[in-house]
Amino acid sequence: MAEAVAAYLHYLSIILLFALLTLEHRLFKLPLDLDRARSLMRLDIAYGLSAGLVLASGAARLVWYGKGLAYYLHNSLFHAKLGLFILVGLLSILPTLVFFNWRNDLRAGRVPQVSARLGRLVIMTIRLELLLLLILPLLAALMARGFGVIG
């Protein structure tokens, strides 16, 4: 039963992560308004928390459930999957910093000013994150079927 709950929490956190990032993509349109800027800040915090849930639930499955720690540590697709997840996390730093830098403007009731160049960079970063996240389920499906085993 615990294994099923761990899997469910992992899948749910992944769906939540993707949904929140999709919402960020949808809301980030220039010119900004105050409500959307506030929503983007809140969404980005929730996105970070959901990434933590994905990592924690995945670690629980890695250590206590699934095919066992040795299987995953000796699977090249697991390493690719973890590497892609880390890359998505690194990419998410840019939008997070942009949104975080808005806090003083938002507290003062001002709409944050975002240049067209920075706006394009943020939206392209979010799109790249979404694209990379779409690859992760493929790697997981292949890994679950025995592909990627080293040695």
Q: What is the pLDDT of residues 12-23, one digit of tens each?
A: 999 999 999 999
What whole-number distance in Å separates Cα of residue 73 and Cα of residue 69?
6
Q: Is the pLDDT of residue 8 over 90?
A: yes
What whole-number distance in Å separates Cα of residue 19 and Cα of residue 17?
6
Would you say residue 150 lies in a domain? no
∠ CA 87-42-108 to the nearest 5 degrees?
120
What whole-number distance in Å separates Cα of residue 46 and Cα of residue 50?
6
C-alpha torsion sign, points 115, 119, 122, 124: negative
C-alpha torsion sign, points 121, 126, 131, 136: positive
pLDDT in the model for residue 65 = 84
Would you say residue 149 lies in a domain? no
pLDDT in the model for residue 151 = 72
The parent domain of residue 63 ranges over 2-144
Would you say residue 77 lies in a domain? yes
Would you say residue 92 lies in a domain? yes
Would you say residue 38 lies in a domain? yes
| This prediction's pTM | 0.92
Distance in angstroms between the alpha carbons of the first and the last residue of the chain: 32
Would you say residue 139 lies in a domain? yes
Would you say residue 122 lies in a domain? yes
pLDDT in the model for residue 71 = 86
| Total domain count, the chain | 1
Would you say residue 151 lies in a domain? no
Q: Is the pLDDT of residue 66 over 80?
A: no
∠ CA 58-62-65 to the nearest 5 degrees?
105
